[in-house]
Amino acid sequence: MTVAPTGPAFSVQDIPFSYRGSWLNISPVVAENTYDDDLHLVSHQTGLHPILRFAPTTAATVRATATLLTWSSGDGRIELTYDGPSAVRLRGMRLGMRISAASRSLTPFSGTYLYRDPVDGSHVLTSYETGRRYRLTVLAGDLGVDGAQALGSADRALTLAAGQAWEIAIEEYATARRPYASEATFEQLCRTNAADFHAFVDAVAPWRSARTPAAELAAYVLWSATVDPAGFLARPAVLMSKHWMNKVWSWDHCFNAIALAPGQPDLAWHQFQLPFDHQDEAGALPDSVTHSEVLYNYVKPPIHGWALRHLRRGLPRPVERAELAETYRRLARWTGFWLDSRRVPGHDLAHYQHGNDSGWDNATTFDGDRVIETADLAAFLVMQLRCLAGLAVELGEPPQRWTETADRIHAAMLEQLWNGERFAARSALTGRRRASTSLLDLMPVVLGPDLPGDVGTALARGIETHLTTHGLATEPVDSAHYAADGYWRGPIWAPSTVLIEDGLRRAGNVALADEISLRFRALCEKSGFAENFDAETGVGLRDRAYTWTASSYLILAGAYERRATRG
């Protein structure tokens, strides 16, 4: 009865087992940085909510590939695969399983409630936390039930005994759904899911080879973290993770869009546009968007002009004029937010109000003041303004207002923040300047050839001091402020790596760009696609299945393979 595994194998401790389009996953992660001993069916509608606990009746070894999850104990085995985005199928032979509600009702109105549906004989759990129902239909074998119609803190569980062959389906739905029926066998579902996944891999990483061994797993992280439109997400969305970082932040999405562009152009375009769907009256993008929440308490850096240029270069088709015009309007309003709402009267430079606005939440750049004018922000705005100028020309509009503003900000950045070796930050409140030891102060290297040669050379020297065996530490390892798991005060991050590598390469500093790319790719091949990494050991930190890390690997690996192919 066993199915041959397909796709890359991985640990479900690190990467959730999921399916493209689904808001469900199977994982031991039940809350932020919280792991249970058993795997759970987890829903990401209205948050991260463990719904059902899967406990084999005998201790079992878990193995996951792209389309098949298995529990094995001696000659006993349980297999799980997806039947579309809202259902899973499980079957067992000589190994039983207890499937219990992951939360109990503290009152008659909260938690979970289990009942048997008299219409089709299925068993249904309602979840107060997700506002959804979870229906279990027996396809083969017999089922034991505990806690049906119970209120309060009683256990609610369904048991499939080891002494039988059994098969069930579990579905997530809202209020009503036709009785479960599927003409596909378990094996057919596995084959269909494998074909879907492999088509995705072939589209986004057709260049992969033995030189880029993590490409398939990177593609799986993206494929499995994609959800269908629901709630505040009106487009298919690649969440940053199907662990606790289950949102779309307004700069993370850019890297996913770029990585997907060549092989999944429609999905890539949706990723770029997602935060713009929630642009406010001032032109600002939200900090983050997810199923049931849109946050505006912070913003994220305006890397969207830089990203749009890369995205369009990767797309296999030109963007239609109407789409381009709408994107131009959105990007202009986003840039206008920074120029109109984030510049002190009489100042050319815009400011952040907190480290979170920069995406580098606790970088040492923000240790002195937090409301500061920084060179990375200036550089991103210069690139965005130049992108707008190019779009204006394409659309038959005058570009002068964009180019003139870009030139003024570029000049002010050099005149007011450059100290000869690196950029300083300036308080928007007091005018006090302060240089830090953060890699953030070197980020204007992203301007590439748009920097004076001596400035670019000095920035490259500074960047080399951040380069460890595994990549670019956000704080030098010999800094008094360095912390191995210090978020932006030491660990290696994907976005800073990609932005810096790109700026260095465009400026002609190819050797350093190659070295940064090589070390980051090797890091991912060793340690996976964590949110960030210990700069000295390379160990993955925080959320271990982060899509912008996987996308950054694909961006750098694809570019490397193309260079290698060209010879």
Residue range 60-95, pLDDT digits in tens? 999 999 999 999 999 999 999 999 999 999 999 999
Structure tokens at 497: 């790596």
Residues 246 and 254: beta-carbon distance below 8 Å: no
Other beta carbons within 10 Å of 176: 8
Structure tokens at 320: 């239609």
User: How many residues in total does the chain contain?
Assistant: 567
Structure tokens at 81: 């695969």
Could you say which DSSP state residue 212 is in?
A: S
Q: In the chain, what are the domain boundaries?
A: 24-177, 193-224+468-567
Residue whose pair of structure tokens reads 């004989």 in the numeric block: 121
Q: In whole angstroms, what is the distance from residue 225 CA to residue 320 CA?
A: 28
CA-to-CA dists, residue 257 to 262, 266, 268, 327, 530, angstroms: 10, 10, 4, 14, 19
- Kindly provide the residue ranges of all beta strands, DSSP E only, lying in 229-328, ordered along the sequence: 237-238, 248-249, 288-290, 293-295
Residue range 235-277, pLDDT digits in tens? 999 999 999 999 999 999 999 999 999 999 999 999 999 999 9
The pLDDT, as a whole number, for residue 7 is 78
The pLDDT, as a whole number, for residue 149 is 87
3-state SS, residue 435: coil
Examine the pLDDT at 372 and tell me if it is beyond 60. Answer: yes
Examine the pLDDT at 227 and tell me if it is beyond 80. Answer: yes
At residue 453's C-alpha, the angle toward residues 451 and 456, to 5°, is: 65
Examine the pLDDT at 338 and tell me if it is beyond 80. Answer: yes
Q: Please give the average per-residue pLDDT across 16-34, as a whole number.
A: 97
Residue range 499-545, pLDDT digits in tens? 999 999 999 999 999 999 999 999 999 999 999 999 999 999 999 99
Nearest to 72 by CA among 157, 156, 170, 1: 1
What are the counts of helices (DSSP H) followed by strands (DSSP E) for the chain?
Answer: 13, 24
The pLDDT, as a whole number, for residue 105 is 59
Structure tokens at 423: 């950029």
Examine the pLDDT at 152 and tell me if it is beyond 80. Answer: no
Residues 371 and 352: beta-carbon distance below 8 Å: yes
Examine the pLDDT at 111 and tell me if it is beyond 90. Answer: no
Quickly list DSSP for 143-176.
-EEESTT--TT---EEEE-TTSEEEEEEEEESS-
3-state SS, residue 117: coil
Nearest to 125 by CA among 170, 72, 160: 170
Q: How much of the chain exceeds pLDDT 70, in percent? A: 98
Structure tokens at 383: 């690139």
Structure tokens at 36: 């249970």
Q: In whole angstroms, what is the distance from residue 171 CA to residue 175 CA?
A: 12
**Residue 37 CB partners (closer than 8 Å, separation 6+):** 28
Q: How confident is the model at residue 154 (pLDDT cuts 50, 70, 90)?
A: confident
Q: How confident is the model at residue 210 (pLDDT cuts 50, 70, 90)?
A: very high
Residue whose pair of structure tokens reads 């309060």 in the numeric block: 152
Residue range 349-370, pLDDT digits in tens? 999 999 999 999 999 999 989 9
The pLDDT, as a whole number, for residue 5 is 56
Structure tokens at 537: 């050991």
- Kindly provide the residue ranges of all beta strands, DSSP E only, lying in 324-455, ordered along the sequence: 372-373, 425-427, 433-434
Q: Which amino acid is at 513?
A: A
Residues 45 and 231: beta-carbon distance below 8 Å: yes
Other beta carbons within 10 Å of 479: 17
Structure tokens at 549: 């890390």
Q: Please give the average per-residue pLDDT across 417-442, as a whole number.
A: 96
Q: Please give the average per-residue pLDDT across 196-223, as a whole number.
A: 98
Q: In whole angstroms, what is the distance from residue 44 CA to residue 130 CA?
A: 8
Q: How confident is the model at residue 104 (pLDDT cuts 50, 70, 90)?
A: low
Residues 10 and 540: beta-carbon distance below 8 Å: no
Q: Which residues of 238-274 are buried (b: 16+ CB within 10 A; e: fewer)?
A: bbbbbbbbbbbbbbbbbbbbbbbbbbbbebbbbbbbb
The pLDDT, as a whole number, for residue 413 is 98
Residue range 319-329, pLDDT digits in tens? 999 999 999 99
